[in-house]
Amino acid sequence: MKLPPLTIGKFTARIPLIQGGMSIRVSTSALAAPVAQCGGIGVIGGSGIPAGELQEDIRAAKKATDGIIAVNIMYAMKNFYELVMGSIEAGIDMIITGAGFSRDIFKIGKTYNTPIVMIVSSPSLAKLAEKLGAAAVIVEAKEAGGHLGTDRPLREIFPPIREVIKNIPLIAAGGITNGFEMAEMMDKYGADGIQIASRFVLSNECDVSDAFKQAYLDAKKEDIVLTSSPVGMPGRAINTPFVQAMNAGEDFSTKKCPHLCLKKCDHHYCINERLLLSKTGNIKEGLVFSGENTYKMKSILSVSEIFRQFTEQAESVYKEGRGFCPAV
């Protein structure tokens, strides 16, 4: 059966698939535009970069496609509101946010007619987001890469959130690697769509270094570990030499912060610096965020091929789901 579209606010994606927004400079317009062109929602990672650079990238994506372009901005960023307003000025279609909770973002979304999508891991935050005006909610579980808001698996935390969210779309995120799992989340668990990130790192269009992609290809299950982050949340990453040394207690603390980065940072290492090192190819000293199931993916594909595989696999087993149905 054909997959249903995903409607968030005034926008409808032909394929109910959101590409996760990955920072710093991992998911840029080079990735987001092809995703949008394939019928999904392409997402630019908007954290850890200057507002002007983000605006340029949004405009580049909007010029490259007439599909849906979103931006993911962590609330934990010092320049959160500057990035939000800059994104709106640049013509972003919707804003996805997490790593903290902003009430004011919903007022901004309403003022500028920009849908706000909230990433949560609990029923209470999901209900609050809907009450304040979220256009959709993304449920992100422990299987996700990067910063984690829970230590519980997706199939455990999704049902209680589905029970309390009835009037806006609910998206499943964390560890989904193929279309069969996509159909499972939509059919069995009632998701209105899915968000995936790690699969898109292993795409031709993702403009991280070849070494970054090779770290994904080489990763075994035991190579994907939890580590600490200056944000104050655990993070899921590949066990690079830097992560091994830090987890063993080696001191990487820094007193000076040259980056416009986090509101609250414990400075036990510079996350901006470590993410940029891996993005540009220094895997030994870098931080490589990765989903829990990255080890299952062993090929680099085009974005269009990823969409073809997910869609064909999902539609081969999809029945009808039981998620949110917008009024007609």
Over range 73-78, report the average pLDDT.
90
Q: What is the pLDDT of residue 261?
A: 79
* pLDDT at position 35: 98
Q: For the chain, which domains are there?
A: 6-206+299-317 (3.20.20.70), 210-294 (no CATH)
39 pLDDT more than 50: yes
DSSP characters over 30-67: HHHHHHHHTTSEEEEE-TTS-HHHHHHHHHHHHHH-SS
Q: What is the pLDDT of residue 258?
A: 60
Q: What is the pLDDT of residue 212?
A: 98
What is the per-residue pLDDT across 268-318, written as a single tens digit (0 to 9) for each?
888 999 999 999 999 999 999 999 999 999 999 999 999 999 999 999 999
**DSSP SS3 for 301:** strand
Span 248-261, mean pLDDT?
78
Return the pLDDT at 76.
86
Residue 260 in this model has a pLDDT that exceeds 90? no
Predicted confidence band of residue 327 (pLDDT cuts 50, 70, 90): very low
Average pLDDT over every residue of 204-213: 97
**Spatial distance between the Cα atoms of 211 and 223, rounded to a whole number of angstroms:** 16
Quote the CA–CA distance of 108 and 46 in Å, as a whole number: 17
d(CA 45, CA 96): 10
Q: Is the pLDDT of residue 328 over 50?
A: no
If you average pLDDT over residues 163-178, what whole number do you get? 97
Query: Is the pLDDT reported for residue 256 higher than 50?
Result: yes
Spatial distance between the Cα atoms of 20 and 107, rounded to a whole number of angstroms:
24
Say yes or no to pLDDT of 265 above 50: yes
Q: What are phi and psi of 121, to 5 degrees?
A: -135, 10
Task: Taking residues 258-264, report their average pLDDT.
Answer: 70
pLDDT class of 259 with cuts at 50, 70, 90: low
Q: Give the rounded percent of residues in the chain with a pLDDT score beyond 90.
A: 87
Q: What is the mean pLDDT of residues 41-64?
A: 97
232 or 103: which leads in pLDDT? 103
- Residue 174 falls in which region: left (phi positive, over 0), alpha (psi -120 to 50) or beta: left
Which of residues 255 and 245 earns the better pLDDT score? 245
In this predicted structure, the answer to whether residue 120 has a pLDDT above a threshold of 50 is: yes
- pLDDT at position 262, please? 78
pLDDT band with cut points at 50, 70 and 90 for residue 326:
low
Tell me: pLDDT of 322 over 70: no
Range of weakest confidence among 30-34, 77-81, 85-89, 240-244: 77-81
* Contact assessment for residue 42 and residue 34, using Cβ atoms and an 8 Å cutoff: yes
Residue 9 pLDDT more than 90? yes
Higher pLDDT, 257 or 285: 285
The answer to whether the pTM exceeds 0.75 is yes
